[in-house]
Amino acid sequence: MNRAARRTTCTRIALLASALATALTAVAASGPRLGDAGYFTTPGLDVLAFSNTYDGNFSDAKIAGIELIHHGVRTATNGDVRLAPTPEQWDAAATLLERTVDAKSGTVTTRMRFDAEDFEYSVRVAPRGDGVVIQVLLDRPLPRSLAGKAGFNLEFLPSAYFGKSWLMDDGSGQLPLYPAGPSGRDRDGATVRLPMAQGHQLTLAPEDPQRRVAIDSPGAQLRLYDGRNQAQNGWYVVRSLLPSGKTGTVLEWSLAAGTEPGWTRPTVIGHSQVGYHPAQRKVAVLEHDRNASPPDRARLLRVEADGTTREVLASAPQRWGPYLRYDYYTFDFSTAREPGLYQIEADGQRTAAFRIADDAYATAWHPTLDVFFPVQMDHMSVNEAYRVWHGRSHMDDARQVAPGREHFDLYGQGPDLDSPFQPGEHIPGLAIGGWFDAGDFDLRTQTHYSTVMSLVDTWELARPLRDETTIDQKRGHVEIHQPDGVPDLLQQIEHGTLMLIAQHRVFGHAIPGIVEPDLGQYTHLGDAVTKTDGKVDDPSDPDSPHDDRLAFTSNTTALNYGSAAGLAAASRALRDHNSALAAESLATAKKVWEFEQGREPNLFRVGNTTGGDPQDEQLRAAVQLLLATGDAKYAKAIAASWPAIDARFAFNAGTVVPVLPKMDAAFTAKFRERAVKFKEERKAFVDENPYGVPITRGGWAGNSAVVGMATTNYWLHRAFPELFDIEDTLQGLNYLYGTHPDSNLSFVSAVGARSKQVAYGNNRADFSFIAGGVVPGVLVLKPDFPENKEDWPFLWGENEYVIDLGAKYLFLVHAAQDLLGAREPR
pLDDT-based confidence at 26, cuts 50/70/90?
very low
**Over 80: is that where the pLDDT of 17 sits?**
no
**Over 80: is that where the pLDDT of 826 sits?**
no
The residue ranking higher by pLDDT, 352 or 13, is 352
Strand order in the sheet with 387-390: 387-390, 381-384, 477-480, 469-472
Residue 730's Cβ-side half-sphere holds a number of Cα atoms within 13 Å equal to 23
For residues 800 and 776, the answer to whether their CB atoms sit within 8 Å is: yes
Neighbours of 12 (CB within 10 A): 10
Q: Which contacts (CB < 8 Å, 24+ apart) does range 54-59 have? A: 54/93, 54/94, 54/95, 54/96, 55/699, 57/410, 57/607, 57/699, 58/89, 58/409, 58/699, 58/796, 59/89, 59/90, 59/91, 59/93
DSSP class of residue 20?
Answer: H
pLDDT at site 9: 37
- Give pLDDT tens digits for 61-75: 999 999 999 999 999
Beta bridge partners of 126: 133
- Give pLDDT tens digits for 729-747: 999 999 999 999 999 999 9
pLDDT at site 542: 86
> From CA 745, how far away is CA 349, in angstroms rounded?
15
pLDDT at site 28: 38
- Give pLDDT tens digits for 279-326: 999 999 999 999 999 999 999 999 999 999 999 999 999 999 999 999
Which amino acid belongs to residue 539?
Answer: P
**Over 80: is that where the pLDDT of 252 sits?**
yes
Which amino acid belongs to residue 817?
Answer: Q
Nearest partner of 192 among 82, 60, 86, judged by Cα: 86
**Over 70: is that where the pLDDT of 23 sits?**
no
- Give pLDDT tens digits for 107-139: 999 999 999 999 999 999 999 998 999 999 999
- Give pLDDT tens digits for 360-412: 999 999 999 999 999 999 999 999 999 999 999 999 999 999 999 999 999 99
For residues 84 and 235, the answer to whether their CB atoms sit within 8 Å is: no
Q: Domain-by-domain residue ranges, the chain?
A: 1-29, 31-257
pLDDT at site 685: 87
- Give pLDDT tens digits for 517-562: 999 999 999 899 999 999 999 888 888 899 999 999 999 999 999 9
CB burial of 67-95 (b: ≥16 within 10 Å; e: otherwise) equals bbbbbbbbbbbbbbbbbbbbbebeeebbe
Helix (H), strand (E) at residue 204: strand 201-204
Helix (H), strand (E) at residue 653: helix 649-656
**Over 50: is that where the pLDDT of 8 sits?**
no
> From CA 543, how far away is CA 540, in angstroms rounded?
9
For residues 382 and 374, the answer to whether their CB atoms sit within 8 Å is: yes
Percent with pLDDT over 70 in the chain:
96
- Give pLDDT tens digits for 477-508: 999 999 999 999 999 999 999 999 999 999 99
**Over 70: is that where the pLDDT of 242 sits?**
yes
For residues 484 and 432, the answer to whether their CB atoms sit within 8 Å is: no
> From CA 255, how far away is CA 257, in angstroms rounded?
7
**Over 70: is that where the pLDDT of 793 sits?**
yes
**Over 80: is that where the pLDDT of 272 sits?**
yes
Find out whether the peptide bond into 182 is cis, omega within 30 degrees of 0: yes
**Over 60: is that where the pLDDT of 800 sits?**
yes
- Using DSSP bridges, classify how beta strands 349-350 and 340-346 pair: parallel, antiparallel or unpaired: antiparallel
- Give pLDDT tens digits for 638-671: 999 999 999 999 999 999 999 999 999 999 999 9
> From CA 325, how far away is CA 319, in angstroms rounded?
15
Mean pLDDT of the chain: 94
pLDDT at site 544: 87
For residues 660 and 718, the answer to whether their CB atoms sit within 8 Å is: no
pLDDT at site 6: 39
pLDDT at site 59: 77
pLDDT at site 10: 39
Average pLDDT, stretch 431-442? 97
For residues 56 and 44, the answer to whether their CB atoms sit within 8 Å is: no
Helix (H), strand (E) at residue 670: helix 665-686
Find out whether the peptide bond into 741 is cis, omega within 30 degrees of 0: no
Helix (H), strand (E) at residue 593: helix 579-597
**Over 90: is that where the pLDDT of 48 sits?**
yes
As a 3-state breakdown, the chain gives helix, strand, coil percent values, each rounded to 5, of 30, 25, 45
Please say whether the dihedral angle defined by the alpha carbons of residues 503, 504, 505 and 507, taken in this order, is positive or negative.
Answer: positive
- Contact partners, residue 441, CB within 8 Å, separation at least 6: 378, 393, 394, 516, 524, 528, 531, 762
- Give pLDDT tens digits for 748-774: 999 999 999 999 999 999 999 999 999
Percent with pLDDT over 90 in the chain:
92
Q: Report pTM.
A: 0.94
**Over 50: is that where the pLDDT of 606 sits?**
yes
pLDDT-based confidence at 15, cuts 50/70/90?
very low
Average pLDDT, stretch 790-806? 97
pLDDT at site 707: 98
Neighbours of 41 (CB within 10 A): 18
- Contact partners, residue 580, CB within 8 Å, separation at least 6: none
For residues 112 and 97, the answer to whether their CB atoms sit within 8 Å is: yes
Which fold is adopted by the domain 31-257?
Answer: Beta-galactosidase; Chain A, domain 5 (2.70.98)
For residues 701 and 796, the answer to whether their CB atoms sit within 8 Å is: no
pLDDT at site 54: 83
pLDDT-based confidence at 57, cuts 50/70/90?
low
pLDDT at site 610: 96
